[in-house]
Amino acid sequence: FVTHFTGCQPCSGDRNRDYSGDSCDDGMRRALNFADDQVLRDYGFRHAGPLSDDVRPLPFDYPAAAGRR
C-alpha cells in the first residue's frame, strides 16, 4: 500500500504548522488501519475501530451480517 500525507509533512521532521500533531497522527493511523483491514479481511479479521490497534474476528456470516446493522 502506498500512502501520501501531503498536508502533515511528517517525513521532513518539521511538521506543517497548519496541522496539529494529533490530527496528523490520527490521520495516518486511520489510513494504515484501513489498508491493514483490506488484508486482514481475507483472513477473517479487522481492526476494532479506525484508531484501534485491537484486531477482532469478523462475524461468521460476514459480509451478510454487515448489511443487517
Structure-block grid coordinates of residue 24: 496528523
3-state secondary structure string across 6-64: CCCCHHHCCCCCCCCHHHHHHHHHHHHHHHHHHHHHHHCEEECCCCCCCEEECCCCCCH
Phi, psi of 62 (to 5 degrees): -65, 135
Structure-block grid coordinates of residue 54: 485491537
pTM of the model: 0.71
What is the tens place of the pLDDT at every residue in 9-68? 777 777 788 877 788 888 888 988 999 999 999 999 999 999 999 999 998 887 766 665
Give bridge partners of residue 56 from the DSSP assignment: 46
What confidence score (pLDDT) does residue 16 get? 80
